Structure 1
């Protein structure tokens, strides 16, 4: 099967699936009090495989069977050959709990306007060499439409990753963690930080005493009308227990048109 044919399947999956994939994004059976393999099937680990070492560098989300959404910042200067994407992972400390799959990267698309100083445009796509198929612990997440999305200010959302759990800790958990975040309105965020907030960013609270180092690129997911939606991407941030200022996340609603444009470019490139 050629890369181009695989990508045609990807394109159909993304453009149509994001509209009709509601059943797969249903939160009807979700129990936030339980942690288990396959509970967050859209979460993938991004690994640097240079020097024959699989080094964990961050997180991504599967938005089609061979298309990963992540942040520019975690990729640094890596090339396609340097990266490996792992789906279905839960506990890094054992191979007995479940089956995971590793897939190599065919193409990286970094946002051309990324600004590390302000965290704006911190978004990237990874096109995989093959699709994640046949693994029941791997699945896709729904994205918000470009316009007309239901307001989610005040929603309790969450992100997942294998990054640090506690402020200034040196320990990285081996089991996929969940961090709850409350998304706040832009107006409330501006009041809290005392400065303008770029339209490309979401603000959230709830990181007090916690650390998201190692969770860069992770999907910020909200449950809206009984559906899981990825509304943002983790940039970076940590807070001691007394800090109350909001943390910034990439706002996906703003970047839906960019994602669609990149898919067109990828399709033309892989012809």
Structure 2
């Protein structure tokens, strides 16, 4: 994998150690967290001190975490039954393979073999925006995914200007996503979140979201200290959570359907 928008590759950051992960989970549980989302890098290849990600999930369940999701590229077997896998599918088969090293068929094979719930995740950039509608139709036609979520490219301003969407371009791509939702495709996006993303007026940071990266627990996102990135945030799940916390019925319903 060498996805151009990835902020985790080749950074020199080390994988978290098993003991630190377990301590962080216990601390997060004590702070009131009951939902856990595991990201990477690639979580399905993580291992340390004889433990694999499967063991971390079991430990989190034993602590009392109720909802557990794992972001993955899908190139390893999805062999943890009691989680939601969020698998990156960056467009139609042709577009995805051009971005993600010809992995489309392998991903679908792994999804077909799992008993876990699987949601597709599309990171929308100029590289795949032209095929958005075709991609959603193709993903839905597989009948392997329970939903389709998306992010707008969220990166430093120069990267977003070159590869992502700002201003009216951003609004236009959001309108296209919403139109697909209105057509009945299983897009994970509430009316409240859609409107907030278009107006870009949702309250951030979301204090109820915490992210462990390296030696720091960030509030909401590790870009919290970078206003230029935060202003153009495209993480739809964060917006959805923010709207649910404000009591917006459509966002609450959307999150309940997705979990």
TM-score, shorter chain, exceeding 0.5: no
TM-score under structure 1 normalisation? 0.27
Return the structure number with greater relative CO, CA threshold 8 A, min gap 6: 1
TM-score under structure 2 normalisation? 0.28
Greater strand share, structure number: 1
Greater helix share, structure number: 2
